[in-house]
Amino acid sequence: MFDGFKLDRISVGGASLRVRHGGSGPPMLLLHGHPRTHTTWHRVAPLLAPDFTVICPDLPGFGESGLSPDVPAELQSSKRAKAMLLVNLMAGLGFHRFALAGHDRGSYTAFRLAMDFPEAVDHLVIMDGVPILEALERCNARFAAAWWHWFFFYQPDKPERAINADPLAWYGGDPERMGHENYRDFLAAITNPCVVRSMLEDYRAGLAVDHLHDAADRAAGRIVKCKTMVLWSRKDDLESLYGDVLEVWQPWAKSIEGAPIDSGHHMAEEAPEAVAAALTNFVERQQSK
C-alpha cells in the first residue's frame, strides 16, 4: 500500500498530523471523509503519483491526527481550525499553493480552506458534498430520513455510547472491498473511543459553528476564487437529495464544473481509476489554458 510513499508524523500548530506523501510534480492535497483515514486513498494516490506530489494526511481529529491545542476547545473541530492546520502543514512541506480535493467530511474542510486561504489553492475538487449551510437550509423530510445521523451525532455522549458498544456493527466495512491494509487502519480508528469522539465532534462543529462561517461568507459576498470541480457518487444520494448538484454550488464558486462517478459513496476505494482520471484531467486541463 502506497508503494514509494513516505509516512510521517508532523507537528503543526501544536497538533501531530499523520501524513503520507510521495510522487513528483505539482502538489495535490487529498482529504478523506468519515469514518475513514488517509489510507482510503491507497488506490488513487499511486495513480496520481507520476504527475503530482500527493499529500494524504489523516484529517485533524481523525485516525492518528490530533487537533490544535492553540484553538479554543469549542472551535478545535471547526473546519476553519482544521483548514489552518492543513495550510500550515503544506507550507511546512514547502507547498504554498496546491490543488486540493476533499471527500465527504473532508470536502467541508477543503471548502473552508479554499475560502479562508484563496492564495493557497489553485484547484478545488469537492467529492460527495455541498456547503454545510446549503445542506441545513435545504433540509426536509427526505434529508432528515437519509442523514439523520447529523442530528444524532450532535447530541452529547449518546452517539459515543452507541458506536463504542459495537463499532463494526455501526460502521460496517469489508476488507476485500476496502483492501486489507486500509481496512486494518479503518478498524484501528473506529475501535478507538478517543477517535470516535473526535470524529463526532467534527459533526457537532458543523451544526454549531461551521454553518455560521458559511453564512458570514455569503453575507460578505465571498466565494471560492479558484477553478472548482464537484464529483458525486452515482449510487449515493446527493442527486436524489438535491437534483442538480452543480446548481447548489453555483453561488459559491467563480468557476464550477462537475460530473458523477459511477460508484457508491466511498468512490476512492470503489472507482479509483475514475477518480484519479477526473482529478488529473481537471488540473492538467485548467493548467493548459
8 classed as catalytic = no
Ramachandran area for residue 190 (φ above 0: left; ψ -120 to 50: alpha; else beta): alpha
104 classed as catalytic = yes
The catalytic position among 58, 104, 185, 210 is 104
Residues 271 and 273: their CA atoms lie apart, in Å, by 6
Residues 20 and 5: their CA atoms lie apart, in Å, by 6
Residues 176 and 178: their CA atoms lie apart, in Å, by 6
Residues 246 and 257: their CA atoms lie apart, in Å, by 7
Report the C-alpha dihedral over residues 144, 146, 147, 153, rounded to 10 degrees: 90
Q: List C-alpha distances in Å: 35 to 18, 103, 171, 235.
A: 16, 11, 8, 19
Catalytic residues: 104, 265
